[in-house]
């Protein structure tokens, strides 16, 4: 199965839907240990991507990811804007002149997540989106020889475990770090939205496989 950017409209719509459907819950999470604007920030980016989705579908992956990264950086704002922007811009650089398949995507996503770590000066265990992105990137790297159906079954599990793991972490980066011990017991909003987006992407890919 080859995946081309013709898929992007469906992926962007699925991501937009999952963030809309879970907006109240995520806002409550960001209100508990942040400033409550995470969904609104993300939705500014998603509205912009929704408007660009047909145009994006005509590009190659590297060019599409570059454009998406620039759009996210200039629309989302907050701490998460530059982080999501960095993810896509770096994936774009890493994808130049590459065919996109299970093996190359693992390396491309890993490069993107490494750049987010550097940009945020953060790593696993700090109660951020990275507690979802890093385990998923690591899993993809170890799973280059795993069959696609098995991979698609496992990625959501890894993402959900990462999201859940933030509940008992002490925040040491971002606004939640100002709360110190009071950040304990709450899931990180950016970890939840990253998990929701990853699960939405996987659901689209699973649906495509089943209807192929
Ligand atoms: P802000 O914190 O500026 O209000 P958002 O609410 O949009 O921005 O995003 C907050 C999310 O960004 C957090 O839930 C966390 O997952 C993520 N985040 C914040 N700081 C960092 C960082 N230094 N590294 C990685 N992720 C971070
Ligand atoms: Mg916020």
Average pLDDT over residues 93-113: 94
Q: Is 26 in the pocket of ligand 1 (CB under 6 A)?
A: no
Average pLDDT over residues 143-171: 96
Closest CA to 35 of 148, 207, 175: 175
User: Is the per-residue pLDDT at 102 higher than 90?
Assistant: no
Candidates 43, 79, 188: which one to mutate for ligand 1, based on the most atoms within 8 Å of Cβ?
A: 79
pLDDT of residue 175: 86
Chain centre distance of CA 91? 12
| Domain layout of the chain by residue ranges | 5-211
Other residues' Cβ atoms within 10 Å of the Cβ of residue 61: 23
User: Is the per-residue pLDDT at 1 higher than 80?
Assistant: no
Query: How confident is the model over 48-87, as pLDDT tens digits?
Result: 999 999 999 999 999 999 999 999 999 998 889 999 999 9
Average pLDDT over residues 109-125: 98
pTM over 0.95: yes
Atom of ligand 1 nearest to the CA of 121: 23
**Alpha-carbon distances, residue 29 vs 8, 138, 187, 192, 211 (angstroms):** 28, 26, 7, 9, 36
Per-residue pLDDT band at 21 (split at 50, 70, 90): very high
pLDDT of residue 71: 98
Q: Which fold has domain 5-211?
A: 1.25.40
Output the CA torsion sign for 167, 203, 198, 190. Answer: negative
CA of residue 176 to ligand 1 center, whole Å: 8
User: Is the per-residue pLDDT at 153 higher than 90?
Assistant: yes
**Alpha-carbon distances, residue 115 vs 33, 84, 89 (angstroms):** 25, 10, 9
User: Is the per-residue pLDDT at 110 higher than 80?
Assistant: yes
């Amino acid at each position: 199965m080859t995946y081309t950017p013709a898929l992007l409209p469906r992926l962007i719509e699925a991501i937009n839907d999952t963030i809309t459907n879970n907006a109240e819950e995520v806002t409550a999470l960001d209100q508990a240990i942040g400033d409550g604007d995470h969904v609104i920030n993300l939705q500014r980016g998603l509205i912009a991507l929704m408007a660009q989705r047909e145009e994006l579908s005509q590009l190659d992956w590297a060019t599409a990811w570059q454009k998406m990264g620039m759009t996210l950086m200039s629309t989302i704002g907050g701490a998460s804007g530059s982080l999501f922007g960095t993810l896509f811009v770096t994936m774009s650089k890493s994808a130049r002149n590459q065919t996109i398949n299970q093996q190359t995507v693992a390396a491309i996503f890993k490069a993107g997540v490494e750049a987010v770590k550097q940009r945020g000066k953060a790593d696993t265990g700090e109660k951020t989106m990275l507690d979802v992105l890093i385990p998923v990137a690591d899993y993809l790297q170890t799973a280059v020889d795993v069959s696609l159906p098995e991979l698609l079954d496992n990625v959501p599990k890894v993402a959900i475990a990462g999201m859940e793991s933030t509940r008992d972490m002490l925040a040491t980066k971002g606004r939640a770090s100002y709360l110190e011990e009071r950040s304990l017991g709450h899931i990180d909003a950016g970890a939840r939205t990253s998990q929701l987006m990853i699960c939405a992407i996987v659901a689209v890919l699973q649906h495509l496989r089943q209807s192929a």
